[in-house]
Amino acid sequence: MRLSNVPLSILQLSFLPLSFLLSMQLHSNYRNYRSAGLRIVLLSLLLSISGCSISSDAGSAAALRLVTEKMAIAEMLAQYPYRWDSKNSSGVADLFTDDGVLERWQNGSLVENSRIVGKRAIYDYAKQSHEGRLADRQTRHNFSGLTFLELGGNSAVTENMVLITHQTANDNAPVIRSSGIYRISWLKTEQGWRITRRILFTDSLPSQ
């Protein structure tokens, strides 16, 4: 289902609860509601905040599914900076499918040697980074502005802004190292939503 085919009322309904959850940082608390019954209660409450109620009609069922899938994807996305910044290399790799891809683009072109293919290669890259160039510093990937470009039954594409900072023992405050936009393709697997492709479009000034 492409967002262009979703009625505006459903889009408004689904984005408000998701924005509320993200701004209040409730994604970790939501994981405590493991039973289907409690999840439905929580989602019903969120829908009522938007001035709507859950009924048996198809429109409400579609809206409920949309909210549920967006929350699940947002939870997985939130794990990316936590796992990377805590140097949890295996945890980072587990966010990807077996054939997952990492890429970095700048000025409209793929950065040379930035393409990494496969969960094992992603793990090796993360481990080498954590134990090598990042070993003496605390990184922070500050995410904001999550938006859904596509959302289907088993696939999705999201974008979010990122501000990346590093801080060593000699730094009084975090130092901005990069910024840009993550475009992430998702696949719904038996284990839940996983990343099939993560592209970082890094910001850059036009050449003079």
Domains of the chain are 3-202 (3.10.450.50)
Q: Is the pLDDT assigned to residue 54 strictly greater than 80?
A: no
DSSP-derived 3-state class of residue 3: helix
Residue 178's identity, in one-letter code, is S
Q: Chain-centre distance of CA 196, in angstroms? A: 12
Q: Which residue has the higher pLDDT, 175 or 19?
A: 175
What does the pLDDT read at residue 6? 41
What does the pLDDT read at residue 26? 40
Pairing state between β 192-202 and 175-189:
antiparallel
Give mean pLDDT, residues 37-44. Answer: 54
Residues 22 and 142: beta-carbon distance below 8 Å: no
- Scanning the structure block, which residue is given the tokens 């989602």? 43
- What's the rounded Cα separation, in Å, for the pair 18 and 143? 14
Least confident of 5-19, 109-123, 139-153: 5-19
pLDDT digits 0-9 by tens, 62-82: 888 899 999 999 999 999 999
pLDDT digits 0-9 by tens, 90-136: 999 999 999 999 999 999 999 999 999 999 999 999 999 999 999 99
